[in-house]
Amino acid sequence: RLTSLYDALTKRRNHGQKSLAILLDPDHLDEANCRHILELSEKHPVDYFFMGGSLVMSSHQAALIRFIKSRSSVPVLLFPSNSLHLDEQADGILLLSLISGRNPDFLIGQHVIAAPLLRQSNLQILPTGYMLVDTGRQTTASYMSGTTPLPYDKPAIAACTAMAGEQLGLRLMYLDGGSGAMYPVSSAMIRAVRQATEVPLIVGGGINTVDKAQAALVAGADVIVVGNQIEKNRDFLGEVSKVVRSFNAIKNMSPE
Ligand code: 1GP
């Protein structure tokens, strides 16, 4: 079921339109904080909420999704770290195959466990080539998955990895420097993956300033993901939303 969420993403990508995703990590978010983020997202457009994290120790993911769905029309996409984190109340799931790693459990194993549950659910499935990138220190995602991230300064390896993922039929690529990364994925790597593949490209990890958001969009990210910085400073939601909207406004004005 690739359906409407994927169609919307590819249409936006084909028109050069960018999107903003806010990562909501249940381990870092209570209902009051979530309410505040939802209020802000009414003033400052947000295109997606990604729900998940590399660990997810807390048990209130389901309650948070229910809370969001009762108050917001922004689609909620699961961003699961394993097959325990499925939830039918979400709109869709980034079905991540960790193609930067060589751990079969995260390439296919967890997916086999989840497959019958996904088939029974109404979740829209977005098959995603997930690439962790080394951004200076070991991240929870890389430790928990037992994988080596892509070397920061090897865009060609990232490009070939994404190409292989696309050839295998994955419909989205996600370059992730890891939550709270010291610095984001380089523009050179984003550009290389963008040039090597046709599918929409999501970029996240360490995007904590307007300039870093802008740089990722200019280099070719179709969707930028922001998590930590909004947990630290709520005003950043408005600032980064404005960057994405201005980018799209300029694109709308320029002749094809
Ligand atoms: C991590 O891409 C996300 O998976 C978001 O990262 O929390 O650093 O914004 P940050």
ipTM, two decimals: 0.97
In a domain, 139, yes or no: yes
The predicted pLDDT at position 255 comes to 63
23 pLDDT exceeds 80? yes
57 pLDDT exceeds 90? no
Give the Cα separation of 127 and 92 in Å (integer): 11
The full DSSP string for the chain is --HHHHHHHHHHHHTT--EEEEEE-TTT--HHHHHHHHHHHHHS---EEEE--SS---S-HHHHHHHHHHH--SPEEE--SSGGG--TTSSEEEEEEETTS--HIIIIIHHHHHHHHHHHS-PEEEEEEEEEB--SS--HHHHHHT-PPBPTT-HHHHHHHHHHHHHTT--EEEEE--TT-SSPPPHHHHHHHHHH--S-EEEESS--SHHHHHHHHHHT-SEEEE-HHHHH-THHHHHHHHHHHHHHHHHHHS--
| Contact 51 CB / ligand 1 (< 6 Å) | no
Distance of CA 92 to the CA centre of its chain: 12
- CA-to-CA dists, residue 116 to 24, 50, 120, 144, 253, angstroms: 26, 22, 6, 24, 46
| Contact 75 CB / ligand 1 (< 6 Å) | no
20, 23, 78: residue to mutate for ligand 1 pocket, most atoms within 8 A of CB: 23
Give the Cα separation of 20 and 194 in Å (integer): 17
- CA 106–ligand 1 middle distance (angstroms): 19
- CA 126–ligand 1 middle distance (angstroms): 19
Closest CA to ligand 1's atom 2: 204
In a domain, 7, yes or no: yes
| Contact 97 CB / ligand 1 (< 6 Å) | no
- CA 167–ligand 1 middle distance (angstroms): 26
| Contact 220 CB / ligand 1 (< 6 Å) | no
24, 225, 232, 233: residue to mutate for ligand 1 pocket, most atoms within 8 A of CB: 225
Q: Which residue has the tokens 């040039």?
A: 195
In a domain, 256, yes or no: no
**Mean pLDDT across the stretch 153-162?**
98
In a domain, 234, yes or no: yes
Query: Of 120 and 55, which is predicted with more confidence?
Result: 120
- CA 141–ligand 1 middle distance (angstroms): 11
165 labelled binding-site residue: no
**Mean pLDDT across the stretch 186-209?**
98
Angle at which helix 155-167 crosses helix 187-196, to 10 degrees, equals: 30
Give the Cα separation of 171 and 150 in Å (integer): 20
pLDDT tier, 83 (very low <50, low <70, confident <90, very high otherwise): confident
- Residues 162, 129: contact at Cβ < 8 Å? yes
Atom of ligand 1 nearest to the CA of 229: 9
- CATH code for the domain of 154: 3.20.20.390
Average pLDDT over the chain reads 94
Total number of domains constituting the chain: 1
State the pTM of this model. Answer: 0.97
206 labelled binding-site residue: yes
**Mean pLDDT across the stretch 123-145?**
94
| Contact 189 CB / ligand 1 (< 6 Å) | no
Range of the domain at 245: 3-251
- CA-to-CA dists, residue 58 to 49, 67, 138, 186, angstroms: 18, 16, 22, 32
